[in-house]
Structure formats: C-alpha cells, structure tokens
Amino acid sequence: GSPVLFVHGGGGSPNDWVPLLPQLVSQQRRLLLVERPGHGLSDPFDYSNHIPDEFAACFLSTVLEALDIKGKVDLVGNSMGGAYSIWFAKANPEQVR
C-alpha cells in the first residue's frame, strides 16, 4: 500500500504512534515516523526565524525526498503535527492521497 507519514504533536515524539503500527504493518504499508526538529533526540531548533506553514511544507517535502518517496502518501498528524500535515497538503496536493 501507499506510505503513511506520521507527524507527532508538540511535546511528543514518533513513539506516540507505536500503538497504531501493528495493524498498519499487517496491511503492508510503509510507515514513516517523523521526528519534528527540536523534539525528541533531534538537536534544539529555533522556530522564530521561520514562517510555520512554509517551514512545515518544506520540512516534510525534504523528508520524503530523502527517503526517495515519489508517489502519494497518507498523512497522520496530531496537534501541531496535524497542522504540519495540513500545511504540507496545501502546498503539495499532488503528493497526498
């Protein structure tokens, strides 16, 4: 199936999605758990110099590009991760299933 891109919320981490994974793995989906900059194990990040929607769309595009994902993805996000997903979808509708 198509890849599923998970984007965690503020104060969260990719581990927030672990309880959902067994069902999706059984559907043979490629699961992509993204750690937003400045969260979890990533380096601190100063968001003050970035326009949120443009940064989010660029960040998720960069992730997909780095993973060589060329087709459409399903997006799952909660809280700020949901906003990232919406901003990405608005900027890149051709990449969202």
The pLDDT of residue 52 = 84
**pTM beyond 0.85:** yes
Is the pLDDT at 18 greater than 80? The verdict is yes
Give residue-wise pLDDT tens across range 42-90: 777 777 777 788 989 999 999 999 999 999 999 999 999 999 999 999 9
- The yes-or-no verdict on residue 19 having pLDDT over 90 is yes
Q: What is the pLDDT of residue 34?
A: 94
Looking at per-residue pLDDT, the higher value among 23 and 93 belongs to 93
Contacts 24+ apart (CB under 8 A), 87-95: 87/52, 87/53, 87/54, 87/56, 87/57, 88/56, 88/57, 88/60, 88/61, 90/53, 90/57, 91/53, 91/54, 91/57, 91/61, 92/57, 92/60, 92/61, 95/61, 95/64, 95/71
